[in-house]
């Protein structure tokens, strides 16, 4: 199927559906200048994820982990939503039952205006106290290393889900509800490597949703979805609404 006929088919579905769920990954933010994790210039290329994005790494060397997050915060502080993020805000306005599940911690969906959203891996501008558990927003760039809790002076960590850590049960519950009730699932800019997000496509497919993948390249899931369209999110997503 050519991408133009696939886009036409998907556009028709989106024009009539009353239940749309969207799953996004780092690829939707690539066009805002945010490096992806596993691409050519991927964030992970210089380090192994376990070295930095894990509770063990933070316990072993909180300074190194905060150096990395401080670098990402400085990078993200100047990044803006792109037409793909903004088109999803318009789709949320048009579709009664809309839910966006993002793996991204870059805050670009909230700043674009998306309301009905689960940030299942957390948000880079939120910090959590390792002592009292308080979660606050901290937009200091740079952030003082090592940051302390203003309530109990405990060590603050990024409020981000690391490898080996469980996702927030509320986020999971809401995500599975959105995956089980949607008529259409749009999967945009994710390599489909990280669990449990990697299992979300099959969950929606199992209950009969029309599943579309928009990605720069084919992924291991491309032959399992109804339409797989290759291209840049900033170019493809705006074409889905007339
Ligand atoms: C958990 C925080 C319970 C760090 C991240 C089976 C079941 C359950 C768990 C596991 C399992 N198998 C293994 C596990 C453990 C692990 C896991 O999945 N490991 C993987 C590596 C195999 N999962 C967990 O630990 C999760 N916890 O399940 O708890 C549990 C616990 C222990 C043991 C069992 C169960 C927690 C996962 C969360 C990890 N945290 N981030 C940080 O961000 O600082 S993951 C990290 O990868 C990011 O959050 C990122 O969002 C995520 C996924 O990456 P993508 O978004 O897909 O980005 P990527 O670069 O990979 O791909 C970009 C895509 O975009 C590419 O396809 C590219 O082609 C495309 N693209 C590029 N440019 C464009 C584009 N597309 C369109 N337009 C463009 N312009
Ligand atoms: Zn505290």
Q: Which of 25, 65, 175, 188 to mutate to test the pocket of ligand 1 (most atoms within 8 A of CB)?
A: 25
How many angstroms separate the alpha carbon of residue 105 from the centre of ligand 1? 11
Residues of the chain with CATH 3.30.1600.10: 35-78+125-160
> In this structure, what token pair is assigned to residue 173?
């519950």
What pLDDT was estimated at residue 48? 73
Selected catalytic residue, list 85, 109, 121, 159: 121
For residue 2, pLDDT over 70 is answered with: no
Residues around the ion ligand 2 (C-beta < 5 A): 129, 131-132, 149, 151-152, 154
Q: Which CATH superfamily is domain 3-34+81-121+163-240 in?
A: TPP-binding domain (3.40.50.1220)
Residues of the chain with CATH 3.40.50.1220: 3-34+81-121+163-240
How many angstroms separate the alpha carbon of residue 138 from the centre of ligand 2? 14
Percent helix, strand and coil across the chain, each to the nearest 5: 40, 20, 40
**Residue with CA closest to ligand 1 atom 3:** 166
Residue-averaged pLDDT of the chain: 94
Region 137-146 average pLDDT? 96
User: How does DSSP assign 73-105, residue by residue?
Assistant: HHHHTT----HHHHHHHHHHHH-SEEEEEE---
How many angstroms separate the alpha carbon of residue 234 from the centre of ligand 1? 21
Give 4's pLDDT tier (boundaries 50, 70, 90). confident
207 is catalytic: no
How many CB atoms lie under 10 A from the CB of residue 109?
24
How many angstroms separate the alpha carbon of residue 37 from the centre of ligand 1? 8
d(CA 127, CA 148): 10
Give 1's pLDDT tier (boundaries 50, 70, 90). low
Q: Which of 31, 64, 81, 163 to mutate to test the pocket of ligand 1 (most atoms within 8 A of CB)?
A: 163
Percent of the chain at pLDDT > 70 equals: 97
- Within 6 Å (CB) of ligand 1, which residues are found? 25-27, 30-31, 36-39, 42, 53, 103-105, 121, 160-166, 189-191, 193-196, 215-217, 219, 232-233
pTM attached to this predicted model: 0.96
**Model confidence pLDDT, tens digit, residues 49-95:** 667 899 999 999 999 999 999 999 999 999 999 999 999 999 999 99
d(CA 208, CA 206): 5
Report the largest interatomic distance among the alpha carbons of the chain, rounded to a whole angstrom.
59
**CATH number of this structure's domain 35-78+125-160:** 3.30.1600.10
**Residue with CA closest to ligand 1 atom 74:** 27
């Amino acid at each position: 199927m050519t991408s133009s006929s696939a886009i036409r088919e998907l556009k028709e579905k989106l024009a009539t559906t009353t239940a749309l769920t969207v799953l996004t990954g780092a690829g939707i933010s690539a066009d805002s200048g945010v490096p992806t994790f596993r691409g050519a210039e991927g964030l992970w290329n210089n380090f192994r994820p376990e070295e930095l994005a894990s509770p063990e790494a933070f316990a072993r060397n909180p300074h190194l982990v905060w150096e990395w997050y401080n670098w990402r915060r400085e990078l993200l502080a100047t990044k803006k939503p792109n037409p793909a993020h903004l088109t999803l805000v318009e789709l949320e306005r048009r579709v009664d039952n809309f839910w966006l599940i993002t793996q991204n911690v870059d805050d670009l969906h909230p700043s674009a205006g998306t309301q009905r959203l689960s940030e299942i891996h957390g948000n880079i501008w939120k910090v959590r106290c390792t002592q009292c558990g308080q979660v606050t927003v901290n937009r200091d760039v740079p952030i003082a290393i090592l940051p302390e809790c203003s309530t109990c002076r405990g060590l603050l960590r990024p409020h981000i889900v690391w490898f080996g850590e469980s996702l927030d049960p509320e986020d999971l519950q809401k995500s599975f509800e959105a995956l089980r009730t949607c008529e259409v699932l749009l999967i945009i800019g994710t390599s489909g490597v990280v669990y449990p997000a990697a299992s979300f496509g099959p969950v929606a497919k199992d209950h009969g949703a029309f599943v579309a993948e928009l990605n720069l390249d084919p992924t291991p899931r491309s032959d399992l979805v109804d339409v797989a369209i290759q291209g840049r999110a900033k170019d493809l997503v705006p074409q889905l609404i007339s």
